[in-house]
Amino acid sequence: MTILYFSAQYLPTVGGVERYTWNLALRTVKAGHRAVVVTSALPGLPRQETDPDGIEILRLPVWPVMHGRFPVVRPAGLALLNRVVRQSKADFCVIQTRMYTQSVLAARAVRRAGIPAIVIDHSTGYMPVGGGPVGLAGRLYEHLACGLIRRTGPDFYGVSSAVCRWLKTFGITAKGCLPNAVDPAALAEEAAQAPDWRAKLGLAPDAKLVLFVGRLIPEKGAVALAEAVQALPGTVLVAAGNGPDRARLEALGAKAPGALAHRAVVQLLHQADAYCLPTRYAEGFPTTLLEAAACGCPILCTPTAGTEELLPGPEYGTLLPDTDPATIRTALQALLADPAAARQKAENARTNLCAHFTWDSVFATILEIAREKTKEGPGV
């Protein structure tokens, strides 16, 4: 079986959708099938290649709108997309997220080719493009994009129950949930033989280490977290990622080493006293929450999408009622003051994760959907 994966952004770009796509494509190849990832071109990377895992990658020419966060397919990219759909002889197609121009073009191309497809959505809100006329235009575009994709007939899935509920905003009833996931065994391997990250970052051996991982943008809440940590003696925030808030974080005393390799992030999660994500962003199901749970790191976060499944009660993690620095400081202080209780919550979250949120389980479900769809016939 050949499965086409359309993802507007892909590795080495760091993000939840990117790793979600890679994990599915990797398991496709390991199961003896063919995986073709169609994504956006990046400087210095070849237009087409097969990576060491055996995943075929095709990168389309795009305009990097919103500093690359919203790549728009160029006319040459559209021609290339249509060609790969025709020539791939794909049996099934997975389109990642509902709003990119690539998703709209892919849905129309695979429909014309008679290839059954599904759309997996990863957000619980509109794109953060600002208010006023720009924000209104952004929302209108998203409704238009969803309408165009919906008319091609694919089933929609969300990566969390919150995403499934959000899809109703566009008149879409999700077929089901294909949750974000992790591979606990692989994460344990990445953490093996780790350096002492406190020493590596120049921290005191007994410093309380609070970790944040993600884009350093206002919606993610890293600055509010830094302000909270600044008021806790002996506690240091390590904010791994890039973005416009990086300089401000450093001014507030946080360590901001930039975007780290995935292995380094996993090692930090194993060594941190807490992972905190005070996000206001329209998250789908943050991968970092799953990785923190898999690594046994106590979690403190806002009730974003996925938390109701991963952290179903206070015995699994700490949920913030708001993102005010004083609120974050109080919650962090309580968590750090009782390490035994924090670790027990972390262990409960890890047990829940291993039971419900692994890539092997998610891929098995997708493969079952693909086989059922291919039985139904072309264009379903």
Q: pLDDT digits over 46-90, tens only? A: 999 999 999 999 999 999 998 888 999 999 999 999 999 999 999
Same domain, 65 and 160: yes
Q: What's the rounded mean pLDDT across residues 340-348?
A: 97
What pTM was estimated for this model as a whole? Answer: 0.80
Name the one residue in this structure whose structure tokens are 């949750």: 179
With residue 348 as reference, give the H or E element that holds it.
Answer: helix 339-356
What distances in angstroms separate CA 241 from CA 9, 205, 255, 303, one per listed residue?
Answer: 17, 23, 11, 22
Same domain, 44 and 130: yes
Give the domain extent around 32: 2-181+358-376
Same domain, 372 and 332: no
pLDDT digits over 226-245, tens only?
A: 999 999 999 999 999 999 99
Same domain, 106 and 190: no
Q: What is the pLDDT of residue 284?
A: 73
Residue 163 near residue 307, CB atoms below 8 Å: no
Residues 6+ apart with CB under 8 A from 189: none
Same domain, 251 and 296: yes
b/e burial code for range 52-80 (CB count within 10 A of at least 16 → b) = eeebbbbbbbbeeeeeebbbebbeebbeb
Residue 88 near residue 2, CB atoms below 8 Å: yes
What helix, strand, coil percent values describe the chain, rounded to 5?
45, 20, 35
Residue 199 carries which side chain, given as an amino acid letter?
Answer: A
Residue 25 near residue 5, CB atoms below 8 Å: yes
Question: Into how many domains does the chain fold?
Answer: 2
DSSP 77-143: HHHHHHHHHHHS--SEEEEE-SSSHHHHHHHHHHHHHT--EEEEE--SS-----SHHHHHHHHHHHH
Same domain, 6 and 73: yes
Same domain, 109 and 151: yes
pLDDT of 377 above 80 = no
Same domain, 190 and 173: no
Same domain, 160 and 234: no
Same domain, 124 and 43: yes
Query: In sequence order, what are the beta bridge partners of 143?
Result: none
Same domain, 198 and 333: yes
pLDDT of 176 above 50 = yes
Q: What CATH number is associated with residue 245?
A: 3.40.50.2000
Same domain, 46 and 136: yes
